[in-house]
Amino acid sequence: MNKKLKSFLVFILIFSIVININTNVVMADKNSKNKSPNIQAGCAIALDSKSKVVLYEKNAYQLVPMASTTKIMTALVAIKYGNLDRKIEISKRSAGVRGSTVGYKKGENIKLKELLYGLMLRSGNDAAIAIAEGVSGNVEEFVKLMNEYASEIGVLNTHFETPHGLDKDEHYSTAYDLSVVTSKARENELFTKIVNSKDVDGKENDFTRSYHNINKILWEIPYANGVKTGYTGKAGKCLVTSVNINGNEVIIVVLNCPGRWKETKKISEYVNNNYEFKKMFSKDDNAVDINLNKKKLRLKYGEDIIIPVNPECKYTTKIIKPEKIGCTIKKGDKVGKLCIYKDGKKIYSTSLKAGNTFRIHRFHFLNKFNF
């Protein structure tokens, strides 16, 4: 790399300064009766699926075994890379796996789509092996895909060793990571349909058998719509749940939780009773203007900003503007950020976008006098 090019690249690096432009004065009520619940679980979290704001957490970032909640990623990878109509032959390894199974027999040919129902409704370890072999040729290659895709979607504290979740020393995740994986999985229409199914008729779906969902949370919480149970000796009882609260999806994870149904309900009720989902900014609304040399760069919100708000807390918003402006910024380019803070702690950030094309003759530094 020549010196001129290196200097140019260094010059266009963008540094950031924080400018406080708005404060939402929702103050704490010290006499509130709605206190954070005491959850009997090794790890737990409630996460707003869209904004990724954490609503409740207990040891949510601790590395732990996660049992069959692993199968959420197995299903996600299978849907992404597999042919749903392809028939997969059940191997000896699949038919002979230990733990919970559907009961597939060696030599049976099952469509990948049906195997996904067996995987998620019956927690079939045999389905997990069959899916891995059918999609990637063998289990080991499929597990590589699982780890690669986890990194791709920003899941950094998880490592998969199997597609079914039976105990292995290097098979672990966190409650937070599982909530992020589940949020991603529920963007897929087929995944959402599968995990919300209580009973599936085999004849109606051209399946080899019918399937009843073992996930009791679908009956325990009326507004629950998934997702997956899990249990092993090391992981204990686990549960990942998706609930619809006033049209907003919240992911609840409890790991190593003997009373997983009851504790999940407690978290769900806590979120329902303590949070309101507020639209703070609308897509394409003006966030801030940057004036420079009689020209104006308008920064806008790229999407509707809907945040779960606890009335007991104080929320503030800040704009991070670029300290340096380049010669040309095109309409729609990402420029600057919006950050939202709860009681002084950042809970959310998103990029702003340029509302107009902006051209100047040379780079400019910004300072407080430009605003």
Residue bearing tokens 């004065």: 25
pLDDT digits (tens, 9 = 90+) for 327-348: 788 999 999 999 999 999 999 9
Within the chain, which residues score under 70 in pLDDT?
Answer: 1-34, 325-326, 360-371
pLDDT digits (tens, 9 = 90+) for 10-45: 333 333 333 333 444 434 343 344 578 999 999 999
**What pLDDT, on the 0 to 100 scale, is given for residue 296?**
87
The whole-angstrom separation of Cα 84 and Cα 229 is 23
Catalytic residue among 71, 266, 300, 337: 71
Catalytic residue among 49, 91, 94, 123: 123
Residue 123 annotated among the catalytic residues of the structure? yes
Instruction: List the one residue out of 218, 333, 316 whose CA is nearest residue 264.
Output: 218
Segment (H or E) for 260: helix 260-274
The whole-angstrom separation of Cα 163 and Cα 119 is 10
The whole-angstrom separation of Cα 366 and Cα 71 is 49
**What pLDDT, on the 0 to 100 scale, is given for residue 12?**
37
Residue 71 annotated among the catalytic residues of the structure? yes
Q: Which domains does the chain have, with CATH numbers?
A: 12-28+280-370 (2.60.410), 59-274 (3.40.710.10)
**What pLDDT, on the 0 to 100 scale, is given for residue 326?**
66
Instruction: List the one residue out of 89, 41, 94, 48 whose CA is nearest residue 69.
Output: 41
Instruction: Report how far apart, in Å, the C-alpha atoms of 365 and of each of 20, 21, 321, 324, 326 are.
Output: 19, 20, 11, 4, 9
The whole-angstrom separation of Cα 102 and Cα 40 is 30
Residue 68 annotated among the catalytic residues of the structure? yes
The whole-angstrom separation of Cα 232 and Cα 228 is 14
Instruction: Report how far apart, in Å, the C-alpha atoms of 313 and of each of 30, 33, 51, 246, 360 are.
Output: 10, 14, 18, 20, 43
Catalytic residue among 49, 68, 197, 268: 68
User: Tokens representing 241?
Assistant: 């749940």
